[in-house]
Structure 1
């Protein structure tokens, strides 16, 4: 066991460590007894009067089995994958080869590469393989600026058939919209969260398990940061994870603030997130690697986020259906 003094910036200070066995902990805590383990810092051991850096008191030992992500999948949990795409003006004119939305017939742009890499993994867990694809920050053909629209322009049925369908809808959409702004992402987070909230109600009513993953692709600084924080805090209590992929060369330092790895994210009103549901990755870090490596990195935290959600709700995985 390694013991650290926690720092919110991630630079935790090592206090000391001790080694024991499960058998030892069990025997020492039998009958309500307390086990004590001195924490030793090797760098301080050479000092004459050094005894320890503190003592860990183990007052109770419980052993329990934690279900795995795959147990929920085998038990019939439905993964629902949604894509949210940034159509703001900072991406550049799509007709210009320097634009992040430029459609090169020989080379997919960064948006397409990220959708393909992450989507190809997620679709293996989605039984119907119908994916809602949403856009934000564009001026639509009717002249309205929208922060939440179906990229197939069918709001009553925003679903695309497979990742190939998402990419086709994206390429068609680019030809019909005018890139605009601002970069407001909260509406799309709330959009998916509403479906996750409905799924949460059905957990109790029907015993159905459904989990939502939103892949949000953006090229720049979020302009509705306070509302986005509130949306994430709201979604943290729902069966939902948010993956943000930063496209292009912008300063994405604010995005790391949304990723709760360095401390609990709080809403604008100070309300803390129930759990960490955000993973941010700048696409530029993976330009020279394979799509599989990008997918592995951005999806690394999702399995534990799924398990943590159901643990908080005290919902076990369903038994694996018997094959006949």
Structure 2
């Protein structure tokens, strides 16, 4: 599982008052728009909508490009990006009537939906257009993301031309100028398109400014692992009172918490593969108690395909195991810490690990857990604990460290705060986004604190050194 968030977190924390806010620019291209009019090519325009309180609201729209089936838009969308929130976007493609620029007379050609997090994690996202009626069209919309670094520098450019070729039969040419930059992968990216100077072979274009923010770049990888409490205190899964009860139509408490947090995290993971473990259960074939077993029962490859894969593995394993106890979480912390420790000794050491623990009860190995957290605080690792149910979670609050410095049984303090605890009951009637926002609020700080303490700067990959989306 490979994520791309450290450099974004680093910049947002250093440049903006909100710890999880940064600004991004989106640039759009489209290929393969079908000709709806046999006598002329389409005049495409893309409208950006964002979902707010269940409603789609228009944010902005591109310019109209006349007679073009493969438009590259010079319009740039600037958005606030919140790491801990799901920001749903919809890009609607219209063929604008040549005599009107409004949407009422335009032909709707289809749309693409995604989250802002998906675009940012991939830097460049391409999706097929869904045509009216829901069928997949041939047109492809590509969205490229760049982060505004806070660098306000810009260059001011003026261009003119003389003695251009006359390309029109009945009048002089109508020239415009496009400025492109060359990326390391030999692709070209539109930076600016001037206005068109009509009927002129010696045009002078208006002076314009180009921001230097587009020259910033970075690349980083991080991992997320999931651990689920299968102790008997959760109740018999066959009983409707159990926190693990599999209702035929409704998700149980564990699934609600898993999906709410996991859907946020998976946007920042390139391969969408999540190692998922359970603890506190007797597992087949010998039904011995385990505190770090693979939920898919494949110890060699515990990864599940996306959060949906974790959900399916969780639902499949429940009938096969016996909920038991005690609630020991030190073994799973140590398991992930071992992997994170191996990463520290690699040449680049650029992966960061997040362990999401879902548990219902009071920890029974508190001393070992404190020791494990103190040791893990030296590693590229964060721990998110979601308390499910109505148990007394006061010990969990102590692990969080917000009210004081956590120490090991020997008195050794944590090097940095790496634990975030949130009781799910506080968000039972709130939206999944509200839970995810609270759970993930401290992650960017924790990531940046670790790499700052090691003197490691965000990685600049060769693929993006020229275009430089996401970096200081």
TM-score of the superposition, structure 2-length normalised?
0.53
Instruction: Identify the match of residue 442 of structure 2 among 285, 292, 301.
Output: 301
Structure 1 residue 319: Cα displacement: 2.8
Instruction: Report if the CA contact (8 A) 2:295-2:317 is conserved.
Output: yes
Q: Which runs of 5+ in 2 are unaligned?
A: 1-9, 14-21, 25-119, 122-216
Instruction: Identify the match of residue 138 of structure 1 among 278, 281, 285.
Output: 281
Structure 1 residue 81: Cα displacement: 0.9
Instruction: Identify the match of residue 402 of structure 2 among 255, 258, 261.
Output: 261
- Corresponding residue of 1:180: 324
Instruction: Report if the CA contact (8 A) 1:67-1:317 is conserved.
Output: no
Q: Which runs of 5+ in 1 are unaligned?
A: 1-65
Instruction: Report if the CA contact (8 A) 1:118-1:294 is conserved.
Output: yes
For 2:317, what is the secondary structure of its paired residue?
helix
Instruction: Report if the CA contact (8 A) 1:77-1:208 is conserved.
Output: no
1:78-97 aligned at under 5 Å gives the runs 78-97=221-240
Instruction: Identify the match of residue 118 of structure 1 among 261, 275, 281.
Output: 261
1:276-291 aligned at under 5 Å gives the runs 276-291=417-432
- Corresponding residue of 2:312: 168
Q: Does 1:101 align with 2:244?
A: yes
C-alpha distance in 1 between matches for 2:419 and 2:358: 13
Structure 1 residue 67: Cα displacement: 4.2
Change (3 A) 1:234 1:208: closer
Per-residue CA deviation, residues 161-187 of structure 1 (Å, 9 max, x unaligned), is 000000000001111000000000000
Instruction: Identify the match of residue 246 of structure 1 among 387, 390, 399.
Output: 387
- Corresponding residue of 2:161: none
Structure with greater strand percent = 2
For 1:292, what is the secondary structure of its paired residue?
helix
RMSD, aligned CA: 1.8
Per-residue CA deviation, residues 216-264 of structure 1 (Å, 9 max, x unaligned), is 0110000000000000001101000000000001010111010111111
1:166-245 aligned at under 5 Å gives the runs 166-202=310-346, 205=347, 207-245=348-386
- Corresponding residue of 1:315: 456
TM-score of the superposition, structure 1-length normalised?
0.76
C-alpha distance in 2 between matches for 1:301 and 1:101: 28
Number of aligned residue pairs = 256
